[in-house]
Amino acid sequence: MSDQVTRRTFLEIASGLTAGVVGSTRLSATPLAPFVHTERNRAIAIASANGLGAVQTAGELAEQGMDTLDAAIEGVKLRELDPTDMSVGYGGLPNEHGVVQLDASCMHGPSRRAGAVAAIEGIKTPSVVAKYVLKYTDHIMLVGVGATRFALSYGFQQEDLMTPASRERWLRWRANRGADDDWVNVDGDEEMVQRPTGTINCNVLNSNGDVSSVTTTSGLAWKIPGRAGDSPIIGAGQYTDNSVGAAGSTGRGEANIKVCGAFLTVEGMRRGLSPTDAALETLRRVLETTQPRLMNEEGRPTFGLNFYALNKNGEFGAASLYPSSFAVWDGTEASVQDTAYLFERR
């Protein structure tokens, strides 16, 4: 304590600080910039490109009055339950030990609540489990065995999530991953599966201006067991602020986590950027934080990353590092549209 500050003076200052926090505006936090929004009368849903059916379902349900989070989850469940989608839910590609571990998170704009699960095993619809975490607990994220036990306590059925097709892909990867390992390479003309980072993100706005978002994935194929990407991370895989809008991501999770990309995109929209420009700004931040080992000789990233965004006015957009696409339901029909992007493909 400074020699110039007596105990009495210190207590008076401390008392004043407390009073300022509780009953005065002179020491209050700087208020968030207001988002100027207009009246609208239709629902909007935006998702990653694999979510054409998801946005159709989610948008129509929201238009009919279903809660935005419930509508978004009904949309992404189409992918989670589709055994032909090897990047989400049932049939998702496993970790290096041959175990499918799923991640999901969601945010409900009206209630300002969030829920997430990571590395959950044997449950086809982790998006629903994430909603249960949001709805029934005072926590936000459950992981691993704890997440699985939580799901089972609510009557979810634990199943083998590997399909014959996904198991064959894993066996081929394990056999052919290195010339000097102890596995005999599998012959055949089938092209080797690389390491897909496919995920589905879906953001929904209703005619009342309420917003919600959800992201779900089986994660990076052949990952180290226990790895969680950006999908279950609130503020990275998805983020919602009911006064502004929502955003979410697919692609390399490790690159997104470092910039809290979904949160950053929503904050860009709060500052007045369009959804597309906010997503592009976030991608530029990603580039600033990318290690040289993940850049090619031209100084461009060797991975893909997409952001999808929607504001309260019903304006939507998406951006990616390289040309890509996204799905949207604009109140009348679902369509696939091109993203804005930073780099052309070579």
Name the percent of the chain lying above pLDDT 90: 78
Kindly state whether residue 27 falls inside one of the protein's structural domains.
Answer: no
H or E segment and range at residue 240: strand 238-241
Q: How far apart are CA 7 and CA 166, in angstroms?
A: 70
CA angle 144, 145, 149 (to 5 degrees): 125
Is residue 240 part of the annotated active site? The answer reads no
Kindly state whether residue 69 falls inside one of the protein's structural domains.
Answer: yes
**157: which DSSP letter?**
P
What long-range pairs does 10-13 form, CB within 8 A, spacing at least 24? none
Kindly state whether residue 126 falls inside one of the protein's structural domains.
Answer: yes
Band of residue 272 on the pLDDT scale cut at 50, 70, 90: very high
Kindly state whether residue 34 falls inside one of the protein's structural domains.
Answer: no
pLDDT for position 189: 53
pLDDT for position 177: 75
Q: Report residue 296 as tokens.
A: 């090619």
Band of residue 89 on the pLDDT scale cut at 50, 70, 90: very high
CATH of the domain at 107: 3.60.20.30
pLDDT for position 17: 38
Kindly state whether residue 184 falls inside one of the protein's structural domains.
Answer: no
Give residue 152's Cα distance to chain centre: 24
Whether residue 34 is predicted with pLDDT greater than 70 in this model: the reply is no
Q: How many domains does the chain have?
A: 1
Answer for the pair 312, 205: CB distance below 8 angstroms, yes or no: yes
Question: Which one is predicted more confidently, 20 or 328?
Answer: 328
Whether residue 329 is predicted with pLDDT greater than 60 in this model: the reply is yes
Range of the domain at 334: 44-176+193-341
Per-residue pLDDT tens over the stretch 141-170: 999 999 999 999 999 999 999 999 999 989
Q: Report residue 57 as tokens.
A: 């379902």
Of the candidates 62, 57, 101, 15, which has an alpha carbon nearest to the alpha carbon of residue 208? Answer: 62
pLDDT for position 238: 98
Q: Which range has the worst mean pLDDT, 19-23, 202-206, 225-229, 310-314?
A: 19-23
Give residue 253's Cα distance to chain centre: 9
What long-range pairs does 292-295 form, CB within 8 A, spacing at least 24? 294/255
Q: How far apart are CA 247 and CA 116, in angstroms?
A: 16
* Highest mean predicted confidence (pLDDT) among 9-18, 38-47, 138-147, 173-182: 138-147
280 φ/ψ sector (left φ>0, alpha ψ -120 to 50, else beta): alpha
pLDDT for position 35: 62
Kindly state whether residue 185 falls inside one of the protein's structural domains.
Answer: no
pLDDT for position 11: 41
Whether residue 2 is predicted with pLDDT greater than 50 in this model: the reply is no
Q: How far apart are CA 150 and CA 165, in angstroms?
A: 29
Per-residue pLDDT tens over the stretch 337-346: 999 999 998 7
Active-site pick, 199, 216, 250, 282 = 199
pLDDT for position 10: 39
pLDDT for position 337: 98
Q: What predicted TM-score, i.e. pTM, was given to this entire model?
A: 0.87
pLDDT for position 277: 98
What does the mean pLDDT of the chain come to? 88
Kindly state whether residue 209 falls inside one of the protein's structural domains.
Answer: yes
Kindly state whether residue 267 falls inside one of the protein's structural domains.
Answer: yes
Per-residue pLDDT tens over the stretch 232-255: 999 999 999 999 999 999 999 999
Q: Report residue 40 as tokens.
A: 């609208």
